[in-house]
Amino acid sequence: MDRTTNTGCVTRWMAGGVACALSVVPLTSCRPDPPSASATAEIDSEPEPTPPTIDFPTDLYTPDDAVNATVDALLSALAARDYARVRALWTLTEDPPKTNDLSNQWSGPSSISLLALQPVRTLRSEHAGVEDAEPGYVLMLEAEREAESGETLENDNNQAILLLVFESDQWRLSRTPKVIRQWLLKSVAGG
């Protein structure tokens, strides 16, 4: 078998007097041009929302660092719109709020503030007696929203009152019984 190479593009093979010519064509990559700045702007037409400011006043800190860390984790998760993380902070004995409900209440605030954090004794069961009361904390959050004009919007969904209960060696969120909600609202109002 006789092999002769011509310019690198054509190779001739000789076998039994039959010549075959193979053409080698260099492949060029078919990459599209990078998108222009205007095309990128069209794709990203909605600007990334500005994360809300978080206000956890130091005068509301508790002596228990684990409570403060749980409240901080809640505020950070709400500000990041990480509702799965909020739901993961929930007590194991209750179903956490649905992601859609959290999104409706907590999406788009310009700030999230902790208005109150008070120690309470909680009854985890309606059948428990006073001697079964467990230490806990009740907290009040407020989401402030601004209109495009810059003025603050008022609505019924801008506050939440939650209970912190100690469960499985950590502080977890829970729904607040009506009597504790009323007590906290009265306390915050100065009455």
pLDDT averaged over consecutive 10-residue blocks of the chain (191 residues)? 45 40 43 56 62 93 97 94 93 90 83 94 61 84 73 62 93 92 88 59
Burial class of residue 23 (count of CB atoms within 10 Å of its CB; 0-12, 13-18, 19+): exposed
Whether residues 68 and 160 share a domain: the answer is yes
Q: Is residue 18 part of a domain?
A: yes
First to last CA, the chain: 105
CA distances from 86 to 6, 25, 70, 78 (A): 70, 59, 10, 7
Compute the Cα dihedral for 28, 29, 32, 33 and give only its sign: negative
Whether residues 101 and 184 share a domain: the answer is yes
Q: Is residue 171 part of a domain?
A: yes
Q: Is residue 48 part of a domain?
A: no
Whether residues 115 and 153 share a domain: the answer is yes
Length of the chain: 191
pLDDT computed for residue 129 by the predictor: 56
Q: Which pTM was predicted?
A: 0.68
- How many domains are contained in the chain? 2
Whether residues 36 and 73 share a domain: the answer is no
Q: Which residues pair with 23 in a beta bridge?
A: 10
Whether residues 57 and 140 share a domain: the answer is yes
Structure tokens given for 68: 């403060």
pLDDT computed for residue 158 by the predictor: 83
Whether residues 18 and 106 share a domain: the answer is no
Whether residues 61 and 102 share a domain: the answer is yes
pLDDT computed for residue 33 by the predictor: 58
CA distances from 18 to 2, 37, 74, 149, 154 (A): 11, 57, 80, 84, 89
Q: Is residue 164 part of a domain?
A: yes
Whether residues 77 and 33 share a domain: the answer is no
Whether residues 29 and 61 share a domain: the answer is no
pLDDT computed for residue 89 by the predictor: 96
Q: Is residue 74 part of a domain?
A: yes
Q: Strand, helix or coil at 189?
A: coil
Q: Is residue 178 part of a domain?
A: yes
Domain region containing 21: 2-43
DSSP letter at 8?
S
Whether residues 97 and 26 share a domain: the answer is no
Whether residues 100 and 24 share a domain: the answer is no
Q: Is residue 182 part of a domain?
A: yes
Question: DSSP assignment of 57-125, as one string?
Answer: -GGG--S-HHHHHHHHHHHHHHHTT-HHHHHHTB-TTSPPPPHHHHHHHHSS-SEEEEEEEEEEEE-SS
Whether residues 36 and 88 share a domain: the answer is no
Q: Is residue 88 part of a domain?
A: yes
Structure tokens given for 143: 């989401």
CATH of the domain at 95: 3.10.450
